[in-house]
Structure 1
Amino acid sequence: MKPVSRRTLDWIYSVLLLAVVLLSWGFVIYASTVAARRQLEKQYPGQTFGMNEYA
């Protein structure tokens, strides 16, 4: 196998780190919306809190 240059390794590591950061922030945002929806359903039972207001 051909050796990989240091510059290429740095680029690959940067892309992997960016992917991990984006996935973790996506999980944080998703978990916070789920928690907020559960809190709203607990405070106001019987009402639907979906993403579409007109449904």
Structure 2
Amino acid sequence: MKPVSRRTLDWIYSVLLLAVVLLSWGYVIYASTVAARRQLSKEYPDILGMNL
């Protein structure tokens, strides 16, 4: 195998870190939305109707 330059490794690590950060933020936003909808449906069952 051909050796990989330091600059290429830095770029790969940066892209992987960015992907992990974006996925984790996506999960946090999704979980917050699900929790908020669940809480709203408990407090106000008639507003959201049968859309859940």
TM-score (norm 2): 0.86
Instruction: Percent identity, please.
Output: 92
What RMSD in Å do the two structures reach over aligned CA positions?
2.3
> Which is richer in helix?
2
Structure 1 stretches of 4+ moved >4 Å: none
C-alpha displacement at 1:32, in angstroms?
0.2
- Structure 2: segments with no counterpart, 5+ residues: none
- Structure 1: segments with no counterpart, 5+ residues: none
TM-score (norm 1): 0.81
